[in-house]
């Protein structure tokens, strides 16, 4: 692990714990992004969280002095929609998810259906209005052979103040348990799919791309499995002792106190 980071053509930034903590910008994050952009590097901000829209992240970043548009933000629902659009034409989708997921699916021409008999694909996401009837309809669709796609596999989502709530991964686990199947595609971290979509947008190869994040089991695994260079920042949930506990081949290429040290 090194701390001197060479220049890359593309940068994929995790958001919470890396660029900001809640509503507070990590010191230097704005100057770092501005300097990388001035060099001509591609910059994309990624989040697994499927209950907020890409637009809301672009607005938050802009409010925190990092001007960003929708092209520079990639959420797990946006990445899943990218994958579906690349592999299917106007599929019929039974979705367990909230409006940010449904709107991404509609935008690429998916037909949202309610009945298991109509579904080509089941999309499992975080759905705070889910009912037994909806879960069972999704199960029946999986039994009938519908594809099983997931926005993000996070079992819990940490909240400000230290509490936690169950997330899409808990609903995914329910569907796995009853169907005996595993997902055919997972869009969010630690799946490399999120990094693949980000690199496709920036036009960079894995060798030209650095993924920066604070969480070892999601950000680091995503970057490594996509073949990108990886940097772990200590501004979020990971401490130096966590890194020391990792086998050598699973450690990041760079460790930084915060993303301000990138340049």
Residues at the contact surface with Mg ion, assessed by CB under 5 A: 14, 16-17, 214-215, 236
- Minimum CB–partner distance for residue 155 and Mg ion (Å): 15
104 vs 219 by CB, closer to Mg ion: 219
Peptide bond into 190 cis (omega under 30): yes
Give SS3 for 181: coil
The residue whose two tokens read 């020391």 is 244
The residue whose two tokens read 């036009």 is 203
Residue 195 and residue 219 in contact, taking contact as beta carbons nearer than 8 Å: no
Q: b/e string for 33-49 if b means 16 or more Cβ within 10 A?
A: beebeeeebbbbbbbbb
Largest CA distance in the chain: 56
98 vs 214 by CB, closer to Mg ion: 214
- Minimum CB–partner distance for residue 233 and Mg ion (Å): 9
Residue 151 and residue 100 in contact, taking contact as beta carbons nearer than 8 Å: no
What is the C-alpha R_g of the chain? 18
49 vs 215 by CB, closer to Mg ion: 215
Sign for the pseudo-dihedral over CA of 209, 238, 58, 90: positive
72 vs 218 by CB, closer to Mg ion: 218
- Minimum CB–partner distance for residue 5 and Mg ion (Å): 18
82 vs 215 by CB, closer to Mg ion: 215
Whole-angstrom distance, CA of residue 125 vs CA of residue 171: 7
- Minimum CB–partner distance for residue 218 and Mg ion (Å): 7
φ/ψ of 92, rounded to 5, equals -95, 125
CB-closest chain residue to Mg ion: 17
236 vs 252 by CB, closer to Mg ion: 236
- Minimum CB–partner distance for residue 239 and Mg ion (Å): 14
- Minimum CB–partner distance for residue 128 and Mg ion (Å): 21
């Amino acid at each position: 692990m090194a701390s001197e980071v060479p220049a890359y053509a593309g940068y994929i930034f995790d958001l919470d714990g890396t660029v900001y903590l809640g509503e507070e910008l990590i010191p230097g994050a704005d100057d770092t992004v501005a300097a990388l952009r001035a060099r001509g590097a591609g910059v994309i901000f990624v989040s697994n969280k499927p209950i907020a829209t890409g637009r809301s992240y672009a607005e938050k970043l802009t409010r925190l002095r990092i001007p960003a548009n929708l092209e520079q933000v990639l959420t797990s629902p946006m990445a899943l929609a990218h994958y579906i659009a690349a592999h299917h034409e106007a599929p019929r989708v039974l979705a367990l998810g909230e409006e940010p997921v449904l709107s991404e699916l509609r935008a690429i021409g998916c037909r949202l259906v309610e009945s298991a008999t109509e579904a080509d694909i089941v999309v499992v996401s975080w759905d705070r209005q889910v009912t037994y009837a909806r879960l069972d309809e999704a199960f029946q669709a999986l039994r009938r052979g519908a594809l099983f796609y997931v926005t993000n596999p996070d079992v819990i989502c940490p909240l400000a103040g230290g509490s936690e709530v169950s997330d899409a991964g808990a609903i995914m686990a329910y569907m796995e348990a009853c169907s005996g199947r595993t997902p055919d595609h997972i869009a969010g971290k630690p799946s490399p799919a999120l990094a693949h979509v980000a690199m496709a947008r920036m036009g960079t190869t894995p060798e030209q791309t650095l993924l920066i994040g604070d969480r070892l089991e999601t950000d680091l695994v995503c970057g490594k499995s996509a073949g990108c260079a990886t940097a772990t920042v200590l501004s979020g949930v990971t401490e130096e002792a966590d890194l020391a506990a990792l086998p050598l081949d699973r450690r990041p290429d760079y460790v930084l106190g915060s993303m301000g040290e990138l340049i």
